[in-house]
Amino acid sequence: MSEISVGQLARDNNLRSLTPDIDADEIILNVPNINRPALQLAGFFDHFDSHRVQIIGNVETAYVATLSREQKIYVFDKMFSFNIPCLVYCRNHMPDEDVLELARKYSVPLLASRCNTSDVFARMLRYLQETLAPTLTIHGVLMDIFGEGVLITGESGIGKSEAALELIKRGHRLVADDAVELHRVTEELLVGRAPEVTRHFIELRGIGIVDVKTLFGVESVKETQSVDMVINLEEWDRSKTYDRLGNKDEYVEYLGNKIICYSIPIRPGRNVAVIVESAAVNFRQKKMGYDALEEFYKRVQNNMIKNR
């Protein structure tokens, strides 16, 4: 299971520590969700999501201000006794000395942000979902082609990296070569990135390692990209019947997410980069409501009617 420390969460999201005497790097997060403790501040702790990051904004701060000192100490003492990973104050709100003392008692880091609560909530939720998402590393190449995340797979040596290099020369962007880390952010969203060691590099047999960022510029690479479609390259097999109309959708499953997959037979003389680029454009057209097969079928039908 993926995990990060509260200290890393604070550094990556520009949160300042209000309790520097508490070592936030020793507290581990493994739940990719956030909670705003509304009912808890009213004293109701049934079904409390205590393993989540807790966020306090304007509404919660205004409510706490209406509590007596005894009530406030009771609810924060009760909340911190659940060993919550941390409590984040938004909009530059600050805890008083009673809350700070209770946080130190239970070793709960208090963090603060000057941003509004909705922005902090959305940014941190996205960060946690991507960082703590289930992961899988596969062999392939991930490209951003006209905004579509195209994962190119196939046996080693079939020409994935060479196709990627040609696509880069045509203005598209490399995300990962050889090893692609897939992160299941949601049931509909699969995000890919390169391991830090191989980021921005391509391996070309006979040439060696190529630094794409240095050779082609920063506009030729990208850190992360959603995986929208898969292109599987395979050796041409004369005995196999390949789809020539595109009327049958095939899918491949990664981490429980189904991604549409096209199998492209490879033989000498075929420009793989152009085929992959065309597949991405055709896929984009279908998402926008235009299907070339339907248009072709309509033309055939109209031509048959005219020739009757």
Joined tokens for residue 294: 């339907």
Whether residue 188 sits in one domain with residue 290: yes
What value does the mean pLDDT take over residues 175-192? 90
In Å, how far from its chain's centre is CA 51? Answer: 22
Contact 165, 208 (CB under 8 A): no
Whether residue 187 sits in one domain with residue 120: no
Q: How far apart are CA 280 and CA 45, in angstroms?
A: 50
pLDDT value at residue 242? 66
Taken in order 190, 191, 195, 199, the sign of the CA dihedral is positive
Check whether 160 is labelled as a binding-site residue.
Answer: yes
Q: How far apart are CA 43 and CA 75, in angstroms?
A: 6
Whether residue 175 sits in one domain with residue 80: no
Residues designated as active site: 139, 160, 178, 244
Whether residue 164 sits in one domain with residue 108: no
Whether residue 247 sits in one domain with residue 115: no
Residue 11 inside a domain? The answer is yes
Residue 169 φ/ψ, nearest 5 degrees: -65, -25
Helix or strand or coil: residue 223? coil
Whether residue 140 sits in one domain with residue 126: no
Check whether 113 is labelled as a binding-site residue.
Answer: no
**In which domain, by residue range, is 197 found?**
135-294
Check whether 169 is labelled as a binding-site residue.
Answer: no
Last residue of a domain, one of 131, 150, 173: 131
DSSP string, 11-44: HHTTPEES-TTS-GGGSEE----EE--HHHHTT-
Residue 308 inside a domain? The answer is no
Residue 239 above 80 pLDDT? no
Helix or strand or coil: residue 56? strand
CATH of the domain at 162: 3.40.50.300
Whether residue 144 sits in one domain with residue 110: no
Q: What is the mean pLDDT of the chain?
A: 90
Whether residue 195 sits in one domain with residue 162: yes
Last residue of a domain, one of 111, 131, 151: 131
What value does the mean pLDDT take over residues 128-151? 91
Residue 264 above 60 pLDDT? yes
Contact 177, 201 (CB under 8 A): yes
Check whether 159 is labelled as a binding-site residue.
Answer: yes
Whether residue 58 sits in one domain with residue 11: yes
Check whether 162 is labelled as a binding-site residue.
Answer: no
Per-residue pLDDT of 76-130, as tens digits, reads 999 999 999 999 999 999 999 999 999 999 999 999 999 999 999 999 998 998 8
Q: How far apart are CA 144 and CA 171, in angstroms?
A: 10
Residue 246 above 70 pLDDT? no
Side-chain-side CA neighbours of residue 89 (13 Å): 18
Q: How far apart are CA 263 and CA 158, in angstroms?
A: 13
Contact 262, 153 (CB under 8 A): no
Check whether 156 is labelled as a binding-site residue.
Answer: yes
Residue 302 inside a domain? The answer is no
pLDDT value at residue 46? 93
Residue 168 inside a domain? The answer is yes
Residue 183 inside a domain? The answer is yes
Last residue of a domain, one of 131, 155, 178: 131
Contact 40, 75 (CB under 8 A): yes
What DSSP designation does 241 have?
P
Going by C-beta distance under 8 Å and a sequence separation of 6 or more, which residues neighbour residue 302?
none
Helical ranges in the chain per DSSP H: 6-12, 38-41, 58-66, 69-80, 97-106, 117-131, 160-169, 212-216, 272-287, 292-306
How many residues can be counted in the chain? 308
Joined tokens for residue 141: 């190449």
pLDDT value at residue 243? 67
In DSSP terms, which residues pair with 28 in a beta bridge?
5
Whether residue 285 sits in one domain with residue 154: yes
**Counted domains in the chain:** 2
Whether residue 139 sits in one domain with residue 258: yes
Q: Angle of helix 97-106 relative to helix 69-80, nearest 10 degrees?
A: 20
Residue 272 above 80 pLDDT? yes
CATH of the domain at 84: 3.40.1390.20
Residue 287 inside a domain? The answer is yes
Whether residue 180 sits in one domain with residue 107: no
What DSSP designation does 199 have?
T
Closest by CA position to 40, among listed 8, 81, 12? 81
